[in-house]
Amino acid sequence: MIEHRKLRVALLGAGSVGSQVANLLLTHREELAERSGAELELAGIAVRDVDAPRDVELPRELLTTDAESLIVGSDIVIELMGGIEPARSYVLAALTSGADVVTGNKALLATHGAEIFDAADQVGASVSYEAAVAAAIPIIRPLKDSLAGDRIQRIFGIVNGSTNFILDKMDREGLSAQEAQQLATDLGYLEADPTLDLEGYDAAQKAAILASLAFHTKISMDDVHREGISNVTAEMIEGARKAGSVVKLLAICERLEEDGEESISVRVYPALIGRDHPLASVHGGNNAVFVEAAAAGPLMFYGAGAGGVQTASAVLGDVVSAARRHIAGG
């Protein structure tokens, strides 16, 4: 067996995504080592409560409430706690210590992205966040790398799985808004604070991240027009159906040009989509993102937009890339 260099990995958070990431790191050890060229040693998992029930059973000796000590000396820090603080402080501490950071925290990036990327640049560390937008769907790397030579004109699509689930249940099963929302709650689809999903904040955070990447400029939450689905009624859904349409919560990021002046518009709102449009066929918790680039033309990205193990796939991809970077850097 090949002897691989060891990299110390710290995981912050063991919620639905974090626990799946820990499980994959532990059970796919050899495969991950072969692919990344490094043995990814999970040094510990920082949690608020070591006794809390988890989606996946994790070795108790890895759980700690002391995130600060865990971060010290780590090569890669995976932040999956969500929210702004203490996630922001931990990410900055990790970067300052020279660790590469992998995060799925869209709220953090949409509000403190500039500060975090500056901190990373100063020490030559990386911040990867494929899991922050559209969960399992590879969309960050295509925008950052694959389309880096093209000019993106427009991105639009469905980037919030729980509201899509609710609207879909109302449309296809005739549920009321309240019934559909209750079902989404029972299935654990909504964020801990459901207004993040229902009022479009989650989609707006993702739109800000996508627009910043696509248009090579800083788009903050203040730049995003946001409207959620809380005013969408069963009557509206029924009216849309009769008109051959379906209501979807859309995120739209586009370059606009007027009188030779270019501006960027980013907006999230419930929109009517014709039933023959591919977005009308995005059901349940799935997401779909269309990218229109000058040379590439239209591209479509589709798949699971939420879910613990699905999102963990995107996190692991970033971890392997960060490990390869470490190995290449010596």
Q: Which two tokens stand for residue 258?
A: 């007027």
Q: How far is the CB of 288 from ligand HSE (least distance, A)?
A: 12
Q: How far is the CB of 201 from ligand HSE (least distance, A)?
A: 10
Rounded to the nearest 10 degrees, how much is the dihedral formed by the CA atoms of 149, 152, 157, 159? 60
H or E, element range at 291: strand 286-293
Residue 162 lies near ligand HSE (rule: CB under 6 A):
yes
Q: How far is the CB of 199 from ligand HSE (least distance, A)?
A: 12
The interface mask with ligand HSE, positions 193-232, x = CB under 6 A, is ----x----x------------------------------
Task: Specify the 3-state DSSP secondary structure of 100.
Answer: strand
Question: In this chain, which of 179, 191, 223, 227 binds ligand HSE, going by CB under 6 A?
Answer: 191
The interface mask with ligand HSE, positions 252-291, x = CB under 6 A, is ----------------------------------------
Using the contact rule CB under 6 A, the part of the chain among 65-73, 156-164, 227-235, 250-258 near ligand HSE is 156-164
| Residue 144 near residue 230, CB atoms below 8 Å | no
H or E, element range at 226: strand 224-226
Q: Which positions from 36 through 75 interact with ligand HSE, judged by CB under 6 A? A: none
First to last CA, the chain: 21
Any catalytic annotation for residue 242?
A: no
Using the contact rule CB under 6 A, the part of the chain among 33-41, 44-52, 87-95, 160-168 near ligand HSE is 160-168
Among 6, 106, 144, 206, the one annotated catalytic: 206
Question: In this chain, which of 7, 135, 208, 247 binds ligand HSE, going by CB under 6 A?
Answer: 135
Q: How far is the CB of 24 from ligand HSE (least distance, A)?
A: 18
CA dist., res. 91 & res. 194, Å (int)? 25
Residue 315 lies near ligand HSE (rule: CB under 6 A):
no
Q: Are strands 38-46 and 127-128 parallel, antiparallel or unpaired?
A: unpaired
Residue with tokens 């040693």: 41
| Residue 87 near residue 113, CB atoms below 8 Å | no
**Amino acid making up residue 102:** V
Cα 181–Cα 182–Cα 186 angle in degrees, nearest 5: 120
The residue (of 23 and 105) whose beta carbon lies closer to ligand HSE is 105
Other CB atoms within a 10 A radius of the CB of residue 68 amount to 11
- Positions in the binding site for ligand HSE (CB under 6 A): 135, 160-162, 191, 197, 202, 305-306
**Active-site annotation, residues:** 206
